[in-house]
Amino acid sequence: MRADAKRNYDRIIEVAREVFREQGYDASLDEVAKRAGVGPGTLYRHFPRRENLIDAIMQSWVDRVTEAADKALAHEGPPRALLVAWFEAYVALISLHKGGPAKITCAIEDPESPIRTKCQTLTAATDRVVQRLEAEGALRPGVDAVQMCRLVGGVATVADQGNLDPAAVGPLLGVVADGMLV
């Protein structure tokens, strides 16, 4: 990639991250191009679909998912505390941008989604938590990572769309955790 094209690419991602944080993932791509100082054609050359731009923004997020799972799994307390800690980290990870929880939760197990690989990373991290809880005999039979992702994603979506305070989300996550543990 030429140096000027790389600069444009990086600038579009930086500005899109800012615009999406302010307005959600459905924000105008023309607004992104305008703020980035590029024409719409330049934006669409780099990112033919909105989802391609979202995918590029989410790349650094993948590393944070792994770190958050590692941190939750390092927890040495009771299974409920581990699970609630993971759920809180999960909600924080998918709630970085307005509209993010719904977009990510709906993409879980969608083979056609352009953010499929990111969702797979999130599901794999959740599966690590599931495996630990299963090994400890703390998880209800039949509970799997996809179910966890969808339930916690549902709570995160309600919190995102209802502008709930994080303090109001914690008790909801506790209820979900209680339903998954024996």
- Rounded mean pLDDT of 26-41? 96
- 60-107 pLDDT, tens digit per residue, is 778 889 999 999 999 889 999 999 999 999 999 999 878 889 999 999
- Say how far residue 171 (Cα) sits from the centre of its chain: 20
User: Phi then psi for 90, rounded to 5 degrees?
Assistant: -60, -50
SS3 181: strand
Residues facing 181 on adjacent strands = 139
55-180 placed in CATH 1.10.357.10: yes
Give the count of beta carbons closer than 10 Å to the beta carbon of residue 31: 14
- Report whether pLDDT(22) > 80: yes
The domain segmentation of the chain, as residue ranges, is 1-48, 55-180
Q: What is the pLDDT of residue 59?
A: 75
Residue 1: count other Cβ atoms within 10 Å of its Cβ. Answer: 9
Instruction: Give the pLDDT confidence of 159-175 residue by residue, as tens digits.
Output: 999 999 989 999 999 99
CATH number listed for the domain at residues 1-48:
1.10.10.60
Q: Which helix (H) or strand (E) holds 159?
A: helix 145-161
> Could you read off the pLDDT of 106-156 as tens digits, one per residue?
999 999 987 888 899 999 999 999 999 999 999 999 999 999 999 999 999
To the nearest 5 percent, what fractions of the chain are helix, strand and coil? Answer: 75, 0, 25
Tell which wins on pLDDT, 34 or 60: 34
